[in-house]
Each structure stands twice: as structure tokens, then as C-alpha cells.
Amino acid sequence: MELQAKIKQVENILKDKKVIIAFSGGSDSTLIAKIASKTSREAIAVTVDTGTLPADVVRNAKHIASKLGIPHKIIKENFLEHEKFKKNTTQRCFHCKDRMYAILESIAEKKGFDIIVDGTNITDMLEDRPGIIANYKRKIRSPLLEAKITKEDVIEYLKKENINYTPNTTCLATRIKGPITTKKLDMISYAENLIKDLTGLELVRVRDFDGIAVIQVDDTSKILDMQLLEYIVEKFKSAGFKSVHVDIEGYHKNKGELIVSREDGEIIFELKLPYPIDLEKTYSKFKDRRGDALRLKIDDSTVRISGDGKIIIEEVKDRKKAERILLEVLSSIKRLEN
């Protein structure tokens, strides 16, 4: 499907509705806000300042919303006051999103908005994102996912339309192992801003493993200078870190990748998602369950989906068609709720 046709599908979802957008100012929510500003009956972008966001995110979100010409509301709440979030278990992302969407639901009920939407795109379904379960619980719609829009599509559209966005909007809590504290958040914020200022890099992660700082950047060569590293170590230790390490592999996300293999002499395309699939809820869309797996036909190809997250595409000759079929599958699967 051409990008313009996908955008049209998003427009149809938002058309003539009163819409609340969960807005970070990142690429995905910026695209949603842009479309909503043109097609919705009324739209408002809402940023929930959780107290764990990088310092410039809220400020940038306000600026971007202003440039888009869409009303913007900032709601401040210290999420560290919520014990389930502060404990930082594997479900932290769910508890964060659940609380955030509860706030947006309250606004929707008071102001008579029709739907709440977020910027989840179809590429996100390749990653381990427990927060998506909050979307199911709160009935948050994801127009980019429904329209099978990928991250590459989002960036292509924003560049074409010359629309600015914030490249890094992930919360600082994602960097911490163990309970989240204000001190840890301050240390990470200081460390990441220091590296950005010294190197000009935009994508910087400093992870805190019980006082051990692990630096991840998208271009490791920019920090592999002994004099620079000695300065960074000195500053990090002054901020409270016990020791400093550099991840030579750099920053990368844990996501499923489509690989080619053979089964009974036939070429198949296989992908293992980093999370389990709820076959019951996925089955309600595909209508074809056999035993402990789903088996369905898309065009002339056979797709098998198992609960452990494995997707196998058979009877397809080339990667391009396999990727198109995969988009169809990813837009319909449901992650298993823990």
C-alpha cells in the first residue's frame, strides 16, 4: 500500500471526531497531531509530564504543538508517587501507560471527546513493549498501527512535509535497574546531557546498573577517545556513579527480525517476536485456529502463528511479499497480558 493511501486511512479514522492525542512530540505522535489538526472536528494534544522524561521533552512538545497549530495541554504528575511504577518491575511500562491513559480518559469524559489515540506504529509491534496492554485495557486507538504505517513511513512523511519532531522522547526510567529514585533520574539526566553536549550526538542512553553506568550511543566512534573518556568518567563519578562502561555494540533495540530458512526443502520466512501472543484474541480477528496455533491464508501464502511469538510464512517466494504479509499479521495480533 502506498504511503498516501495509508495516510488517507488514518484521516478516515480521525475524520469529524473529537480527538485526544497522547502527545510526546516524537515522530509518531507528531504525525498523528498533524493529521488530526486537518481532519478532526476538534483535536487536542495532551502531554503528561511524569517527572521521568528528559528535560527538553515537555518543552519541545509545547513548541511542536504550537507549530502544528493544535491546542496543547500539559498535565504534571509525579509518577514516583505510584508504588507500582516506582518498583520498576517488568510491568513498569504498563503501569505508566495505564495511569497516563486514565488521566486522558478523565479529560475525554469531562470534555466530551470521542476517542483517545496514541502514536503506536506497526514497527513497534516488533519490540517488547508491555505498555501496549494498557491500550487494550483503556481502549486507546492506534491509527498508525491500524493503517499499517511503519516507522520508516512516519519519518518519510515528516521529512517530506518538513515537520520537526523530537528524536528522543523515551522516559529515563527505562535506563534504571531496580527501584526508581529521583537521585538516579537526576544522575542519568546529567550524564546523558553531558555526552550530548560533548559529542553532538542525539541518541544517547546512560543505563544505571546499581551505580554502574553503561553508555550506549548510535555512533560509538564519537566517544572512543581516551582523553574524552577520562573526562566523562571523572564527571560521572562526581555525579555519583561508581564506575563507567561503554557498550561497544552501541544502542540497539530488541526486536524480531524476518529471517529466511528452509523447512522440508521449502523456503520459509520466520520471525520470533520478543513477547508472547494471545491466540484467543488474535483468533477473533483471523477466524482460523488449529490446536495450539493459528494457521491462516493471506493471498496464496500460509501463515502460522504460535503463542510463543513465532510467525512462519510459507509459500512465498520473495522477501518483499513476505514483509507485506507480515504487516497484515502484525496489525492484527494481540500481545498476551501478563
Q: Taking a C-beta distance cutoff of 8 angstroms, is the pair 210, 178 a contact?
A: yes
Q: What pLDDT score was predicted for residue 224? A: 92
Q: Taking a C-beta distance cutoff of 8 angstroms, is the pair 124, 309 a contact?
A: no
| DSSP secondary structure, 12-75, as one string | HHHTTSEEEEE--SSHHHHHHHHHHHHHSSEEEEEEEE-S-S-HHHHHHHHHHHHHHT--EEEE
Q: What pLDDT score was predicted for residue 264? A: 64
| DSSP secondary structure, 224-253, as one string | --HHHHHHHHHHHHHHT-SEEEE-TT----
Contacts 24+ apart (CB under 8 A), 7-11: 7/35, 7/147, 7/149, 7/157, 9/143, 9/146, 9/147, 10/35, 10/143, 10/144, 10/146, 10/147, 10/149, 11/35, 11/38, 11/39
Among positive and negative, which fits the CA dihedral 85, 87, 91, 92?
positive
pTM here is 0.91
Q: What pLDDT score was predicted for residue 326? A: 92
pLDDT tens series, the chain, 338 aa: 699 999 999 999 999 999 999 999 999 999 999 999 999 999 999 999 999 998 889 999 999 999 999 999 999 999 999 999 999 999 999 999 999 999 999 999 999 999 999 999 999 999 999 999 999 999 999 999 999 999 999 999 999 999 999 988 889 999 999 999 999 999 999 999 999 999 999 889 999 999 999 999 989 999 999 999 999 999 999 999 999 999 998 877 666 677 776 666 678 999 999 999 998 888 776 766 666 788 888 888 999 999 999 999 998 888 889 999 999 899 999 999 87
